[in-house]
Amino acid sequence: MKKFLKSTVAIALFFATATGMANEPKIILTSENDSKTLVLEMDSQQVSKIIMMDENARTIYSENIQSTDYIKKFNFKDLAVGTYYFTVENALSSVVYTLDVNSKDVKIANTTKNITKPIFRKVGDKVYVNLFNADQRKVDIEILDNQRNVVFKESTRGELIVGKAFNFEKAVKGSYTIRVNDGEETYYQNIKIG
């Protein structure tokens, strides 16, 4: 078992190092002068997702983007006055733009970039979770079943690389959610067994 854990940590370290060296896509979100439009340009080397939510966390737009260059104009003229969150994410990072939409225009009020996201990989009935924890802060990992019952919970502190392997071969068939909290953000991965 110790040999398996050591090799899992070595794989996690290699995986985190390799992903850290990968090119991040260039994301540029610009507003046009005195209008309610924004232009998104991405120089992407990987699959990305765009999600736009209102201030009540309701998704009002989403799009999956393949690993190609991308440019699109978004018109916000029909949106109600308020705050919106425009997120561009991929396997390595996410950027959240806080947008203030008023009666005349749309402005980017804030930009939050999160570079380190956990990487989830499912192979058969096994799930591997890897997280590069640069600040070595506390990381909580939970697995919930489809009734929202916690079936696994573990916390780590002071680990640069958090690498976990979960074997669902003898688990009850159904849907599970893996939740990872790094002290600042909470990430979710839904998996189906059976």
Which two three-digit tokens encode residue 147? 């009734």
Whether residues 91 and 162 share a domain: the answer is: no
Tell me, what CATH number does 179's domain have? 2.60.40.1930
Q: Domain total for the chain?
A: 2
Is residue 21's pLDDT more than 90? Answer: no
Whether residues 128 and 100 share a domain: the answer is: no
Whether residues 59 and 109 share a domain: the answer is: yes
Q: What is the mean pLDDT of residues 94-103?
A: 89
Is residue 1's pLDDT more than 50? Answer: no
pTM of the model: 0.51
> What would the 3-class secondary structure string for 118-170 be?
CEEEEECCEEEEEEECCCCCCEEEEEEECCCCEEEEEEECCCCEEEEEEECCC
Percent of the chain with pLDDT over 90: 36
Whether residues 65 and 133 share a domain: the answer is: no
Whether residues 65 and 136 share a domain: the answer is: no
Is residue 147 very low, low, confident or very high in pLDDT (cuts 50, 70, 90)? very high
Whether residues 110 and 121 share a domain: the answer is: no
Q: Give the pLDDT score at 25.
A: 56
Q: What is the mean pLDDT of residues 14-36?
A: 56
End-to-end Cα, the chain, rounded Å: 26
Whether 9 is in a domain gets the answer: no
Which of 65, 96, 114 finishes a domain? 114
Tell me, what CATH number does 42's domain have? 2.60.40.3080
Among the listed residues 163, 152, 156, 154, the one whose alpha carbon sits nearest the alpha carbon of residue 128: 163
Q: Give the pLDDT score at 134.
A: 77
Whether residues 135 and 85 share a domain: the answer is: no
* SS3 category, 46: coil
Is residue 34 very low, low, confident or very high in pLDDT (cuts 50, 70, 90)? low
Least confident span in 30-39, 51-60, 163-172: 30-39
Whether 127 is in a domain gets the answer: yes
**Residue range of the domain that includes 46:** 26-114
| Beta sheet of 70-75, edge-to-edge order | 26-31, 37-43, 70-75
Mean pLDDT of the chain: 81
Which two three-digit tokens encode residue 30? 């610009």
Whether residues 125 and 74 share a domain: the answer is: no
Is residue 163's pLDDT more than 70? Answer: yes
Is 125 in contact with 171 (CB distance < 8 Å)? Answer: yes
Among the listed residues 66, 115, 64, 110, the one whose alpha carbon sits nearest the alpha carbon of residue 86: 110
Which of 114, 139, 170 finishes a domain? 114
The string over 123-144, giving b where at least 16 C-beta atoms fall within 10 Å of a residue's C-beta and e elsewhere, is eeeebbbbbbbeeeeebebbbb
* Cα(66)–Cα(38) distance, integer angstroms: 21
Whether 12 is in a domain gets the answer: no
Which of 76, 98, 114 finishes a domain? 114
Q: Give the pLDDT score at 115.
A: 65
Percent of the chain with pLDDT over 70: 81
Whether residues 108 and 185 share a domain: the answer is: no
Least confident span in 58-62, 72-76, 90-94, 159-163: 90-94
* DSSP H or E run through 6: helix 2-21
